[in-house]
Amino acid sequence: MLFLHPGFRGKGLGKLLMQYAIAEHQVKKVEVNEQNHQALGFYQHLGFKVVARRDTDYSGRPYPILTMVLD
């Protein structure tokens, strides 16, 4: 999971962290709450594409989860 304090958003830190995760840890897949439009847009901007959708999270709660892979 990647979370930034709201005061640090929009400064390139999330992108920097994801670039590190991709380069150093071969991260190619993320899961995003479909209702989190900001996160969804962030990952799309980095080149991730939606490849699957679940109606619930891992706890069975009604939060749709999108699986995204790096294109």
Tell whether the model's pLDDT for residue 71 goes beyond 90: no
Q: Give the dihedral sign, CA 44/20/70/57.
A: negative
Rounded Cα distance between 21 and 9, Å, is 18
User: If we measure between CA atoms, which residue out of 21, 62, 66 comes closest to residue 41?
Assistant: 66
Domain boundaries, the chain: 28-71
pLDDT in tens, 5-61: 999 989 999 999 999 999 999 999 999 999 999 999 999 999 999 999 999 999 999
Q: What is the pLDDT of residue 1?
A: 79
Separation between Cα atoms, residue 59 and residue 57, nearest integer Å: 5
Burial of 6 (0-12, 13-18, 19+ CB in 10 A): exposed
